[in-house]
Copies of this chain bind each other. A is one copy, B any other.
């Protein structure tokens, strides 16, 4: 079939904000998408079908079954195949005016500068905090605009970082919001999410790229937009340049390797199977620290102390009991266990490993 770009992009060029001029800017643009998962896959497809002329996709990973609920451009038959490769082939099937290529290797400190140097706009669709900083810092060093997106459960974050103003200065970047890579964030396991917020954040990133390239609308610069899918609430945090941050030095001195969860002290932990053996004993005292006191718990609970109001000072220890503290994921229960052990060192107390979720 003979498909003309006039016909393909008719519904865009009819917009006075875009026109043929805007369409040509898109055609000439070179965009790099790093990460081809929940964010990266719609980003790549929507950018290509918008008419971005050159697109390069990067992801080291292969498709897994638990990706499919939110990475909707992969099909069941794609499981175990390269994400970047499959996504590039999906782009080809629907975007005849886009030149698409891919890299199926991880981005590292050694490769990042070379990788981004040939592109006009960098889009971050990765799911690793340290790689997000690596990309941010590299964009600052090479003066590239970065379209940032990320999420946790129902909260999605979006921003356009390091955009060059007319006076030559650059807008805020990730380190103006979060100066250092937070280590020790309590929950390192994948938190889970529903697919709409992932798609919404991806499309807000696409929207930034199109606005930036076609010089239309107002970019999300010097701010961080947060969208919450449970309440449809939008929050915009205004940012300010932090002059005490020297990214060139940081880049030189960092290795950008993953940081890991705090390791929990094994002597304060009880596994689900061990707990099963003692849970019905009279000497066992189960303490729930769930905030929702009416949550269904699959075993008997003797005390409910919502974490929100927990205070070690108020606790009356019974030294004849063996305490097991439980919560959903084993994070807040561990925290309570630590505090009680600190205050009452003679107490026999354990946190249920990985919480009710793993019971």
Contact = CB atoms under 8 A, between A and B. Distances in A.
Interface of A: 1, 3-4, 7-18, 42, 45-46, 49-51, 65-66, 68-70, 72, 74-77, 79, 93-94, 96, 153-154, 190-197, 199-200, 203-204, 206-207, 210-211, 216-218, 220, 225, 229-232, 234, 236, 295, 328, 357
A50 B194 contact: yes
B14 A190 contact: yes
A50 B11 contact: no
Contacts of A8: 65-66, 68-69
A68 B50 contact: no
Taking the full assembly, how many copies of this chain does it contain? Answer: 2
A14 B94 CA distance: 34
A59 to B, nearest CB: 17
A156 to B, nearest CB: 11
Contacts of A220: 232
Nearest to A21: B296
13 contacts: A1-B76, A8-B68, A9-B69, A12-B69, A14-B191, A15-B192, A15-B194, A49-B72, A74-B94, A75-B94, A76-B96, A196-B203, A218-B232
Given A46-B196, A200-B200, A94 B68 contact: yes
Nearest to A356: B16
B69 A51 contact: yes
Q: Ordered nearest first, which 5 A-B pairs have the shortest CB separation? A: A217-B230, A14-B192, A196-B207, A75-B93, A199-B203
A330 to B, nearest CB: 13
